[in-house]
Amino acid sequence: MTPDLELIHKPIHESFRAWAHGYPHVVAKWHFHPEYELHIITTSTGKFFVGDHIGSYAPGNLVLTGPNLPHNWVSELAEGVSLPARDLVLQFSSDFIDRCALLFPEMAPLKTLLGEAGRGLQFPDALGLRLAPLMCELTTAQGPRRVELFARLFGELCDCRERRALASVTYLAQAGRYMSSTINLVLAYIKQNITLDFCEQDVADVAEMNTLKFTRFFRKHTGTSFIHYVNQERIALACDLLMNTDMKVTDICYRTGFNNLSNFNRQFLAHKQMSPSKFRSCLHMNMPESFP
């Protein structure tokens, strides 16, 4: 089965993404992404899949995956049951680590660890349980504390000699082949054209489907509607511009692909429970140094 591409949105003012989610969730599927990922399961048991490896997991399951290595965790739950919290996730790019290594020679052990992550690395559950509070704090930490927590987490991982590789030596993560799948071509098209004016039929044409078939196809693979997904991507871009530029809200509206201000404000309110102006005001109160 071809894995889906996950598009990871890292705020411009942050070096890495740390977050938590429950299960089921739109990203809880067989998928891949160019970023490294550190993953801790906090509740439930089930099966996990990394490359060609299949294993059982319990709370504390701690896995590090390398770029473009497909992975998924499937909880053993009764039908209709959901978990409000299950996964703690830390994602970062190779470029981020390369830049850190240039500045800090002390990062050499981490480079070695990440070199092993191409096949996926599993660490003892006991370590995962011990590091879970740090990962949980990292999801909301700001400023230098984020860097401190990142360093502590990977210091522990580098010191752990009980880690083991998951995928077989012969397994190859082939992002080019994955990207040729229809859903990944569609997601890539949306990402590349997110600031432009396009409609569902335009993307259905990329998938070589009629609109009705594409609508069902898109929801099956992403867990949401085409319109909701596109608006979500555009609002994420708008948040970055509100946080990291002094562009006017009206300019941001059109810069992010919305064709009128009232729709932009309505969608922003639906996704963030506040207006764009209030979002920026809250940011000013908490991070006034972010703007010139």
Q: Express each pLDDT in 233-277 by its tens digit.
A: 899 889 888 888 889 999 999 999 998 999 999 999 998 888 999
**What is residue 288's predicted lDDT score, i.e. its pLDDT?**
38
Mean of all residue pLDDT scores within the chain: 90
Listed in sequence order, the residues at least 6 apart from 156 whose beta carbon sits closer than 8 Å to its beta carbon are 127, 130, 131
Strand order in the sheet with 31-32: 4-5, 31-32, 71-75, 46-50, 53-57
**What is residue 292's predicted lDDT score, i.e. its pLDDT?**
32
**What is residue 286's predicted lDDT score, i.e. its pLDDT?**
54
Q: Is the pLDDT of residue 28 over 70?
A: yes
**What is residue 285's predicted lDDT score, i.e. its pLDDT?**
60
Q: Scan for tokens 């860097």, then name that residue.
A: 147
The CATH superfamily of 181-285 is Homeodomain-like (1.10.10.60)
* Other Cβ atoms within 10 Å of 44 Cβ, number: 20
Please say whether the dihedral angle defined by the alpha carbons of residues 237, 247, 96 and 134, taken in this order, is positive or negative: negative
Dist CA 40 CA 281 (whole Å): 34
DSSP single-letter state for residue 8: P
Average pLDDT of span 127-145: 96
* Domain ranges (residues) in the chain: 4-170, 181-285
Q: What is the pLDDT of residues 193-206, one digit of tens each?
A: 999 989 999 999 99
Entry pTM: 0.71
- Domains 4-170 and 181-285 belong to one CATH topology: no
Q: What is the pLDDT of residues 176-195, one digit of tens each?
A: 666 667 887 898 899 899 99
The CATH superfamily of 4-170 is Jelly Rolls (2.60.120.10)
**What is residue 41's predicted lDDT score, i.e. its pLDDT?**
98
Dist CA 15 CA 36 (whole Å): 13
